[in-house]
């Protein structure tokens, strides 16, 4: 390939991306960072590059991250036994201190450092900062195996967002600073709660009236009966696919989280494959995107 051909291809790629860059100019995009992308050095670097480039292109990114494997490893190291009920980790008062240390400490600062190293201007936060997120204790029920009777289960210091104050996030947005947020928040009596990162990112997206919420996962997106990626579907279709068993297993809670975010006012939610380098840029700045877009 000669230089002239290479230059033409680069110019073509830029011209194709430009309309999408203009579409998201000045718009808030929330990205939930998790899965294999967090643990893979090359994918982590590519993600940081994407976030830095979004900000430099006029997009206003907000990153929310999880850290389940890292939390589990630290709890094991400290001698705590993890128990899961209804897909959520039972979190004692002693354990929530460890969770906060891992999420709002080491993981958060690592992501911030990576984005800054790629030219972004990021700052690490959790829901406690500026009283950004007020939490409430989460309540769940499950059926007993022998009697099939519903009973309330106590998950300890596991919460869900009750209220999001956008003052701090708007101040950072106006200054061009990228918030990187750990899903830890305070509730009544100054208690600390661990919040599911998907739920947390949905609440942040709704409060900020985000144009897009992107869920980086370890799957390609929502698949049809033949295993092909579905590029776009609406809430009604998604509910029918769950009812008829097309969407099954672990994809059901992912899609339900997407629908909950849409109910909170997000314009569109995307499930995309975080195992692909630069999945965020491919989703936002190309014609067909990189995952499944779910719309109201």
Residue ranges of alpha helices (H) inside the chain are 3-23, 36-39, 41-56, 68-77, 93-100, 108-117, 167-174, 197-207, 235-243, 251-263, 279-285
Say how many C-beta atoms besides its own lie within 10 A of residue 236's C-beta.
9
Q: Are 64 and 122 a contacting pair, CB within 8 Å? A: no
Chunked mean pLDDT (size 10), the chain, 296 residues: 56 61 84 85 93 92 92 91 82 93 94 96 96 92 70 86 96 96 91 93 93 90 88 92 86 85 89 90 79 90
For each of the domains in the chain, give its residue range(s) and CATH number, in order of start: 25-66+107-132+164-295 (3.40.1160.10)
- For residue 292, what are its two tokens? 């499944």
Inter-CA distances, 241 with 69, 226, 235, 247, 252, Å: 30, 13, 10, 5, 10
pTM exceeds 0.75, yes or no: yes
pLDDT value for 182: 97
pLDDT value for 257: 84
Closest CA to 280 of 14, 19, 58, 30: 30
Q: Are 294 and 230 a contacting pair, CB within 8 Å? A: no
Residue 275 burial (CB < 10 Å; 0-12/13-18/19+)?
middle
């Amino acid at each position: 390939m000669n230089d002239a051909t290479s230059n033409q291809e680069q110019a073509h790629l830029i011209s194709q991306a430009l309309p999408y860059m203009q579409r998201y100019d000045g718009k808030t995009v929330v990205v939930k960072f998790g899965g294999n992308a967090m643990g893979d050095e090359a994918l982590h670097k590519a993600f940081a590059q994407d976030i830095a480039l979004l900000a430099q292109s006029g997009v206003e990114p907000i990153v929310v991250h999880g850290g389940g494997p890292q939390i589990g490893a630290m709890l094991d190291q400290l001698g705590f036994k993890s128990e899961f009920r209804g897909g959520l980790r039972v979190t004692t008062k002693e354990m929530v201190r460890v969770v906060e240390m891992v999420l709002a400490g080491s993981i958060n600062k690592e992501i911030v450092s990576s984005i800054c190293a790629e030219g972004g201007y990021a700052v690490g936060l959790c829901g406690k900062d500026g009283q950004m997120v007020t939490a409430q204790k989460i309540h769940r029920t499950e059926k007993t195996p022998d009697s099939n009777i519903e009973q309330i289960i106590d998950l300890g210091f596991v919460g869900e967002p009750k209220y999001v104050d956008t003052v701090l996030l708007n101040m950072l947005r106006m200054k061009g600073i990228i918030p990187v947020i750990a899903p830890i928040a305070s509730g009544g009596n100054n208690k600390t709660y661990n919040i599911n990162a998907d739920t947390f990112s949905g609440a942040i997206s709704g409060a900020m009236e985000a144009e897009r919420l992107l869920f980086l996962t370890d799957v390609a997106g929502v698949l049809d009966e033949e295993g092909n990626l579905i590029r776009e579907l609406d809430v009604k279709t998604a509910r029918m696919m769950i009812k008829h068993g097309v969407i099954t297993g672990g994809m059901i809670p992912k899609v339900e989280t997407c629908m909950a975010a849409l109910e909170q006012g997000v314009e569109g939610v995307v499930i995309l494959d975080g195992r692909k380098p630069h999945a965020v840029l491919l989703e936002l700045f190309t014609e067909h995107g990189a995952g499944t877009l779910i719309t109201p």
